[in-house]
Amino acid sequence: MRVLAVVPSVYDTSPGQRFRIEQWEPILATGGVEITYVPFENDELRAVLYKGGEVAKKVAAVTRNMRRRSRELSNAGDFDLVYLFREAALLGPPWFERKMAKTGVPVVFDFDDAVFVSYKSPSNGYLSYLKFPAKTAEICRLSTHVMAGNEYLADYARNENANVTIIPTTIDTDKYEFIEKEVEPQTITIGWSGSFSTIQHLDTIREALQGLAETENFRMRVIGSPVYKIPGVDTEALQWRSSTELDDLRAIDIGLMPLPDEDWTKGKCGLKALQYMALGIPTICSPVGVNSTIIKDGVNGFLADGKDEWIEKIKSLMHSAELRKKLGRAGRETVEKDYSAKAIAPRVLEVFRAAAKRGLTTD
């Protein structure tokens, strides 16, 4: 089966792609799936897109890539299936999705964020107004099948399409090998991993971390923003790199995933938590969206809401190596059972085959 993967980002640069279609690709290949990627981004656009300002350069690069996208998708009819991740273009109405639908090639639409909710990007505030989030509903209607990252997203998709399957974000448990720490660290490292656009979520527990630092000795590791400080807290900020991601995460003793309770964040698929858990790192999350499904409080991690609860639960892990090991092991077991690529990719293959078959039936 030849699949055209219409994706937003350059290969191995975007968490959504990396932990969904890119991660599933080797397993899908064993089922006869051959994937050709056509990202909307290129190196030129990526070099400016995630920086503040430079609006003129961004607009010029996006315009050029819109023209290139039109040429690329004119060949969609040469494939057995189109896999569409989030949207065909970063801006504008669903022009390209309509174009693909007219080819008659079945389309599997996959989304792992609340892309139907208006969201102002910290680095691209003005361009965010050109995102047309309402187009998600039409994309669902135009698609043969929809894969949604969690129940909240699936509920939205079911209003537009009867063929919806929940496919959670997954972890490659071979790559994310569980190696239990044998030596108690002299200084506990509390960690957060994300991006420039999500660092604001860590800010929601800034006061809790500052309060914790008044009585406890710890280091805060922030992965995904090269410049980040919390006054009064020993903070280490690291640029995210694919080549060092695992080593950067392994240095963390307690992983955090705070989220504000908003329509946008309810669509999150818990990637940060799953990364920590896969490595056996005890994890604390806000009880928002799918986090409350992934984490069973006190069993395979902690849920925390409010400053006092965050401080209390971080302290309990800091003061007990045994509790850290217990929750770390249970978290790893959860990932292996319910959120591993090995467990989930076969479901994706079933969706692809069913969608391709429906496409042949309608020819």
Give DSSP secondary structure letters for 275-317. Answer: HHHHTT--EEE-S-TTHHHH--BTTTBEE--SHHHHHHHHHHH
Phi-psi map region of 33: left, alpha, beta (phi>0 left; psi -120 to 50 alpha):
beta
Q: Kindly list the distances between the CA atom of residue 169 and the CA atoms of 23, 150, 221, in Å, as whole numbers in the listed order.
A: 10, 9, 24
pLDDT at 57: 76
Q: Give Cβ neighbours of residue 347 (< 8 Å, ≥ 6 apart).
A: 165, 167
pLDDT for the residue numbered 56: 72
CA pair distance 212, 110, nearest whole angstrom: 40
Q: What is the pLDDT of residue 54?
A: 67
Q: For residue 47, what pLDDT is reported?
A: 67
pLDDT at 354: 97
Which residue positions in the chain have pLDDT lower than 70? 47-54, 119-130, 359-363
Q: How far apart are the C-alpha atoms of 158 and 137, rounded to whole Å?
A: 10
Name all domains of the chain by residue range, CATH numbers in brackets.
2-170+341-362 (3.40.50.2000), 188-338 (3.40.50.2000)
The model's pTM: 0.91
